[in-house]
Structure 1
Amino acid sequence: MSYSSKYIYATLPRTQRGIPIVLGGDPKGNNFLYTNGNSVIIRNIHDPAISDIYTEHSCPVNVAKYSPSGFYIASGDQSGKIRIWDTVNKEHLLKNEYQPIAGPIKDISWSPDNQRMVAVGEGRERFGHVFMTETGTSVGEIAGQTKSINSCDFRPSRPFRIVTGCEDNTVGVFEGPPFKFVMTKKDHTRFVQAVRYSPNGELFASAGFDGKVFLYDGKTADLVSEVGSPAHKGGVYGVAWKPDGTQLLTASGDKTCKLWDVETKTVVTEFNMGNAVEDQQVSCLWQGQYLLSAGLSGFISYLDVNNPEKPIRVIKGHNKPITVLALSPDRQTIYTGSHDGYITAWNSKNGENDRIEGIGHGNQINGMKCDPSSTLMYTCGIDDSLKQVDTETRNYTGVDVKLGSQPRGMDFKDGVLVAATVKEVIVLEGNRRANSIEVNYEPSSVSINSQQPFVAVGGAMDNKVHVYNLNGTSLSEKCVCEHLGPVTDCAFSPDGNYLVASDANRKVILYKVPEFELAHKQEWGFHNARVNCVAWSPNSTQIASGSLDTTIIIWSVLHPAKHTIIKNAHPQSQITRLLWLDDETVVSVGQDCNTKIWNVAPIS
């Protein structure tokens, strides 16, 4: 029995209002880099559906940059650690690990010969350090600035220089090696957010929260001129040079990106990115012929110089933990819903995606289910409401049913929807409450049997699965199945013959229907922590379970003594939901905001 990773639909960069992010570019022009949580995401710039994820940091990563040779990536995290790792091997072997400062690292820059590195951030004793990449030995101090340093860059040609942008409103200039402080430039009146040398090292640009962009001489650091007056109405979060050094791209909190002619200091093109708060631009990257800009929403836009109104492509998705997962009746579209209330529709064949528009829950979604007989999908969230989405137009329809308390799960069959809230189990028909029964056990999940009139509700407080008879829209209690820990999820098999339930005691338990007795004597308990979710294969012969221990296990109904373990399916992240695309393909989502698709060979 074997498995393989088929696709990763990668997370978007994690963003915060008022804080720039750093996009890293591949010197070979194939990939770009960004970070989210403990992960560094490497995405193919030509086809962003192709991605790879590095997850060896033990705390959130802030920045990742390719070495000029393209063979290594350096990534810096919240604790002040820098890991230098290999890009050629799939395993991304660690070359070196250093701790240049004792606090969050905000930016990294390699020297053009790959031998030295400068790292800056929010240290306790110092705000930056220059060291040899092979040995970690110091080759200079970053001193002379009094607050956290946001940005740094190495001059790409000799004589070597380093420039830094600081929250004391100054640009620091250093000469070396060994690198020594030369001067600070005090042209900005607010935090300096980005400093970048031109590709030939003749000039460098600095950008700040005052909306200003300045150009300086690359060798002497003399002020050449200001670009625009000011360049933007809001803070400038990022600058990126055209590979030939003739143009400059700037990204701003005023929701625009601008392309500047370096010689005339005039705007060539202005890109208006939208009107919403999420359209503030927090970073940009110029990679070969691609101009990339990242918004506060995490969306990455490929800017079109010939048509500034419409980007060539926008990479969408999630940058917050994914909490729910659903599949369209034709199995062509995967729907993922996240902690911040957004739903993304993914093409299951190629990973192309789009976000569901309209007024949604605005916060965590706890349940999502497609109606097999129409284009409608139902969602429930911790705003205590049930909403409806038209999957054809990819819009919320405006249906908003108040549930009275927080829903924990829902299921749908033949026009009847059963939602379990913390206080009651509610039956809805035609988007109206038809019936309900009060409960005292705090439900965790709901499943309706597709063939027989049963509803199973998992109990998070009393360690039981409660089984009800569903007669039209009325519920009556049938039986309970005891577990040794809180029940986290339950699901009837597609053929209606089995019920599987998972619990916080690391067990996955299979029951026969309609007796609701154990289906076999084999104990399924190979997880090392709470099992969060279970899902059935379409042919009702296999079950996938996902756990807090980052592992997916595939169980066989026909061969209960055999199973397949997918270890570290989502490294350093619990698995929140699973579903089967077909009898050999599993989709998993997790706290790491990634959606992964696995090929799984049947157990025999």
Structure 2
Amino acid sequence: MSYTEKEYFAPAPTTIRGQPVRLSASPQNDLFAYASGKTIIIRSLADPSKSSEYTGHTQATTMARFSSSGYYIASGDAQGNVRIWDAKTHTLKSQFRPISDRINDLGWDHESQRVMAVGDGKTNFGHVFLYDSGNTVGCIEGHSRRINACALRQRRPFRAVTCADDGKCVFYFGAPYKYNRALTEHKGFVHDVRYSPDDEMFVSVGADRCIFLYDGKTGDPIRQVAKTDKEGAHTGSIFAVAWSPDAKMLVTSAADRTCKFWDVAADALIGTVRMGDEVGDQQVGNLWAGEHIISLSLSGNINKLQVGADAPVQVITGHQKTITAAVLTAEKVLYTGSYDGKLCTWDFSKDQACGSAVVVAGSTGGARLDAAATDASSGVVALGFMDNSLRLASDSKITASVALPAEPRSLAMVSLELTLAVLLNDTLVAIASDGEQQQQQQQCAGILIPDSQSAPKAVAHSNGLIAVGFHDGTVRTYTLSQNNNGNTGSMLQLLPTGTFIEGHSREITVLEFSPQDGAHLASGDAGGKIFVSRAKDGALVTARWGSHTARIYGIAWSPSGLHAASASLDGHLIIWSIERPLKNIQLRNAHLGGATSVHYLSDTQVVSTGTDGGVKVWEITNY
């Protein structure tokens, strides 16, 4: 068997409130790079469905910068490490630690030889070095607090400028780069500084909401942009600024949730784009590459802008945090929820790539999604949250909410005259609905699990049979019964079938019945082992699915029922064969930090999610 990564839907950039985020475009203006978790994402500016990842860092990444030639990328992390690698092959060229703490920005000279790294540190806030040897080619002096950004002139004579939380910009002559003067026009944190494409000027922006222009060769102040326009000025800290390719316009992104376009020659505001009214709509980063203008929201949304438009022409969204649970509907719509409570859907029903997620309407966020399940007959999706709540969704909208007595740990959907969601925490709970999807109040009742001597940890349902996995590694099956009137969930009860599956040495973490007839039951445990048993009598089919080295987070059966896929904390996906238990295909390091779910789109395609916040589609061939 073999596999290929068909599609990769990258996570959104990592953002921190009150702190600017750096985006970098390639010289060809077709790609841009940003940091997300421990990963650097390289994404197409024209087609958001096309992206790749660099996973060489072991610490949280902070930013990445294309070299002037476009051949290399320099990326930094929260511990002051800088890695320089090939932009196409991702082969590591060199690695250094120029400062002792967070890298806030990186800059290349026009020869793609010298790299300036700035940020925070115990003894210094920046360093300039040769990209291949690490030899020092300059000294960053003049700042007393962390440096937020740097920019290097892309032609001779060599010049550079930095800006910092001490309210100053510092201008340098080079190379080697040496202190020339301090620029003190700003009255607060200076967040960004950028040279114009023609290198004749550079611009700085900061917390004082001001925009200053300087001569690119001498560093002399030229003027404050639109100083007299009080109505058009930003009302919040300006976090990022970018030049148009012809150096005639500027775009600024600010905490007041707006982006503004400025005509440099006319010294006037020419347009404002308002993003929204939520905290997450604050704008913390931007770039202008060719015809592409992008501004980044605190929520992680990548907003494509256009001069003259008063709203984004496209919004690309995704997860910023670990995807903790996911479920695939019969219509091939994937619901995903992340650690920060963000809910998204991904539509795989069409032939073309979905490209970007859709945020579920009515989801309030804030609480981690712990479990998810769906019922093919009703199309309803059940979502269990850490705040002891269950929400029902359909068509990418939240339709109902239920308060639970405890946090849901596992979830299955059952159809028994009424639509029921069966959840596990320390006990089993049934949620009954009268079929009205808009109904806001649902009925909730506890159900005792007969003969259980251990805490339940996982649940699954198929054709009226409910399987429950326990902390002691055993699995039991039950049927769900109700009284004749069936008016309330309080009359529901579990009846043991007598089927008892044992052999696991660790707690059960996931259960999954095979499709259609539910003949096979796969059980995964916290030690990475998977057993397959006959659902009707518990007879063991195979216990040889044991290639994972850590907790099993997800199991999915192929539509034919001949294969199964598993996702694990070890970061791998494994495709198993029921007919040839010793044969498997390992998708190693599918997700950095762990794979959290896996689902079959078809017999030859699976979709997976991970702690990296990404969604990947894999093509499986030569079974």
Task: Place the TM-score, normalised by the shorter chain, in its bin.
Answer: over 0.9
Match of 1:469 in 2: 479
| 2:541 corresponds to 1:519 | yes
1:435 Cα shift?
5.1
Match of 1:247 in 2: 249
Which deviations, in whole Å up to 9, do the C-alpha atoms of 1:452-478 show, x marking residues without a partner?
x3211222x322223222224421234
Using a 3 Å threshold, how does the CA distance of structure 1 residues 278 and 480 change in structure 2: closer, same or farther?
same
1:30 Cα shift?
0.7
1:347 Cα shift?
2.0
Alignment of 1:58-73 (within 5 A): 58-73=58-73
1:371 Cα shift?
3.2
Match of 2:269 in 1: 267
Asked if structure 1 preserves the Cα contact closer than 8 Å seen for 2:427 and 2:446, the reply is no
Query: 1:440 & 1:75 partners in 2: Cα distance?
Result: 52
Unaligned runs of 5+ in 2: 434-441, 483-491
Instruction: Return the match for 1:589 from 606, 609, 616.
Output: 609
1:443 Cα shift?
3.2
Match of 1:534 in 2: 555
Alignment of 1:402-417 (within 5 A): 402-414=403-415, 415-417=418-420
1:314 Cα shift?
0.6
Match of 2:176 in 1: 178
Amino acid at match of 1:524: W
Query: 2:306 & 2:453 partners in 1: Cα distance?
Result: 57
Query: 1:74 & 1:589 partners in 2: Cα distance?
Result: 27
Match of 2:466 in 1: 455
Match of 1:578 in 2: 598
Which deviations, in whole Å up to 9, do the C-alpha atoms of 1:287-319 show, x marking residues without a partner?
1011100000000000122322x3111101111
TM-score, structure 1 normalization:
0.95
Asked if structure 1 preserves the Cα contact closer than 8 Å seen for 2:410 and 2:425, the reply is no
Amino acid at match of 2:374: C
Query: 1:116 & 1:300 partners in 2: Cα distance?
Result: 30
Instruction: Return the match for 2:373 from 351, 369, 375.
Output: 369
Match of 2:431 in 1: 428
Query: 2:601 & 2:501 partners in 1: Cα distance?
Result: 29
Match of 2:113 in 1: 115
Query: 1:143 & 1:365 partners in 2: Cα distance?
Result: 47
Asked if structure 2 preserves the Cα contact closer than 8 Å seen for 1:278 and 1:297, the reply is yes
Using a 3 Å threshold, how does the CA distance of structure 1 residues 254 and 86 change in structure 2: closer, same or farther?
same
Alignment of 1:243-392 (within 5 A): 243-308=245-310, 310-331=311-332, 333-348=333-348, 349=351, 350-352=353-355, 353-360=357-364, 362-391=366-395
Query: 2:378 & 2:424 partners in 1: Cα distance?
Result: 25
1:132 Cα shift?
1.3
Asked if structure 2 preserves the Cα contact closer than 8 Å seen for 1:190 and 1:209, the reply is yes
1:13 Cα shift?
0.2
Query: 2:453 & 2:383 partners in 1: Cα distance?
Result: 24
1:440 Cα shift?
6.6
Query: 1:602 & 1:433 partners in 2: Cα distance?
Result: 47
1:354 Cα shift?
1.1
Using a 3 Å threshold, how does the CA distance of structure 1 residues 59 and 499 change in structure 2: closer, same or farther?
same
Instruction: Return the match for 1:446 from 459, 464, 471.
Output: 459
Match of 2:438 in 1: none
Using a 3 Å threshold, how does the CA distance of structure 1 residues 68 and 8 change in structure 2: closer, same or farther?
same
- Of stretches 592-601 and 362-371 in structure 1, the one that deviates more from structure 2 is 362-371
Asked if structure 1 preserves the Cα contact closer than 8 Å seen for 2:412 and 2:423, the reply is no
Query: 2:132 & 2:371 partners in 1: Cα distance?
Result: 50
- Of stretches 473-482 and 377-386 in structure 1, the one that deviates more from structure 2 is 473-482
Amino acid at match of 2:115: M
1:279 Cα shift?
0.3
Using a 3 Å threshold, how does the CA distance of structure 1 residues 21 and 212 change in structure 2: closer, same or farther?
same
Query: 1:281 & 1:193 partners in 2: Cα distance?
Result: 13
Amino acid at match of 1:405: A
| 2:528 corresponds to 1:506 | yes
Asked if structure 1 preserves the Cα contact closer than 8 Å seen for 2:414 and 2:422, the reply is no
Task: Classify the secondary structure of the residue corresponding to 1:523.
Answer: strand
Match of 2:620 in 1: 600
Task: Classify the secondary structure of the residue corresponding to 1:22.
Answer: coil
Amino acid at match of 2:347: N
Amino acid at match of 1:147: R
Query: 2:121 & 2:292 partners in 1: Cα distance?
Result: 34
1:345 Cα shift?
1.3
Query: 1:317 & 1:344 partners in 2: Cα distance?
Result: 7
1:427 Cα shift?
1.9
Amino acid at match of 1:234: G
Match of 1:488 in 2: 509
Query: 2:528 & 2:377 partners in 1: Cα distance?
Result: 36
1:179 Cα shift?
1.0
Which deviations, in whole Å up to 9, do the C-alpha atoms of 1:579-598 show, x marking residues without a partner?
11111111110100001111
Asked if structure 2 preserves the Cα contact closer than 8 Å seen for 1:418 and 1:446, the reply is no
Task: Classify the secondary structure of the residue corresponding to 1:278.
Answer: helix
Which deviations, in whole Å up to 9, do the C-alpha atoms of 1:243-266 show, x marking residues without a partner?
110000100000000000111221
1:56 Cα shift?
0.6
Query: 1:31 & 1:64 partners in 2: Cα distance?
Result: 12
Asked if structure 2 preserves the Cα contact closer than 8 Å seen for 1:408 and 1:443, the reply is no
Amino acid at match of 2:480: L
Amino acid at match of 1:506: G
Query: 1:360 & 1:480 partners in 2: Cα distance?
Result: 41
Match of 1:202 in 2: 200
Query: 1:48 & 1:359 partners in 2: Cα distance?
Result: 24
Using a 3 Å threshold, how does the CA distance of structure 1 residues 375 and 307 change in structure 2: closer, same or farther?
farther
Which deviations, in whole Å up to 9, do the C-alpha atoms of 1:51-110 show, x marking residues without a partner?
000001111111101111111111111121111111233xx1111112211111110000
Task: Classify the secondary structure of the residue corresponding to 1:112.
Answer: coil
Query: 1:446 & 1:375 partners in 2: Cα distance?
Result: 19
Amino acid at match of 2:538: F
Asked if structure 2 preserves the Cα contact closer than 8 Å seen for 1:48 and 1:315, the reply is yes
Identity %: 37
1:602 Cα shift?
5.6
Match of 2:50 in 1: 50
1:9 Cα shift?
0.8
The number of residue pairs the alignment matches comes to 591
Which deviations, in whole Å up to 9, do the C-alpha atoms of 1:119-173 show, x marking residues without a partner?
1010121100111122211111001111110100001221111100111111011
Query: 1:477 & 1:334 partners in 2: Cα distance?
Result: 33
Task: Classify the secondary structure of the residue corresponding to 2:176.
Answer: coil
Asked if structure 2 preserves the Cα contact closer than 8 Å seen for 1:368 and 1:378, the reply is yes
Asked if structure 1 preserves the Cα contact closer than 8 Å seen for 2:465 and 2:477, the reply is yes
Unaligned runs of 5+ in 1: none
Amino acid at match of 2:443: R
- Of stretches 169-178 and 375-384 in structure 1, the one that deviates more from structure 2 is 375-384
Task: Classify the secondary structure of the residue corresponding to 1:139.
Answer: coil
Match of 2:26 in 1: 26
Task: Classify the secondary structure of the residue corresponding to 2:280.
Answer: helix
Task: Classify the secondary structure of the residue corresponding to 1:141.
Answer: coil
Using a 3 Å threshold, how does the CA distance of structure 1 residues 268 and 600 change in structure 2: closer, same or farther?
same
Asked if structure 2 preserves the Cα contact closer than 8 Å seen for 1:407 and 1:419, the reply is no
Task: Classify the secondary structure of the residue corresponding to 1:138.
Answer: coil
- Of stretches 322-331 and 18-27 in structure 1, the one that deviates more from structure 2 is 322-331
